[in-house]
Amino acid sequence: MILMRTRLFIILIALTLTGHPAGAQEAGKIVEQYVKAAGGGKALARIQTLTIEGTFAGDDGKSGTYTLDTKLPNRYYSELLVGEENLIEAYNGKSAWHQNAAGELGTLVGPEGMQLEAAAQYCNSRLLNLKKNKITLALVGHAQVRGRDALQLEVTTASSMKRQVFFDVQTHLIAKEAATVGGVEQEILYDDYRTVDGVKLPHKIELHRASDKYNIEVSRAAINGTVGERVFDFAIK
């Protein structure tokens, strides 16, 4: 533990003394460690589609289901079904759309649309081929996630949208993410990683969405299952 904290201190001193290039170099090493811990570049690069499904009980006692679908190159669909409320945020490769708690459907443009496009790009990148995907990294510094040491990076996508990503110092896996998605502040904590088709995926997700919190128990995690394009298309009632 002492050696680990010493290494963290050296990283931060190097960033302070030598400026951004050293920080960028160290950020790259952190991501390299993550890729290796998550299953390796080849295993991550094989992911064409990813489906995460689970159930949760909210702080208000309401139960529901959670679904996340991603598909290369830039498809994204997130759904929270709570009683009769169906909260959806999606990007179909061309446009972003959502459904709010009142059941109202709408296309998202401007910053909100760009945030969803960025979420789609980030999730499908698996943090591989950063230069090709026009994703840049910046080391923010040391942080604590649930009492564990973590290193915080700021990830900026091609559309200049930023996401905070926290990597556990011991496991090198992602412990937490924070970003604004579709105009909604979101914070996601990950735990209970298990191997699925050679890739480490979380099976416990704590999702903070604005003022609401959802403790999600993952019941299904599938890589390269069938996910049709219609999943991401604007819903028509």
> Tokens for 112?
């909100």
pTM for the model: 0.88
- Using an 8 Å Cβ cutoff, are 72 and 48 in contact? yes
Q: Quick check: bond before 73 cis, omega within 30?
A: yes
The kind and range of the H/E element at 56 are strand 49-58
| SS3 of residue 141 by DSSP | strand
161-192 pLDDT per residue, tens? 999 999 999 999 999 999 999 999 999 999 99
Asked if the model's pLDDT at residue 10 lies above 70, the reply is no
Per-residue confidence band for 236, with pLDDT thresholds at 50, 70 and 90: confident
Mean predicted lDDT score pLDDT of the chain: 91
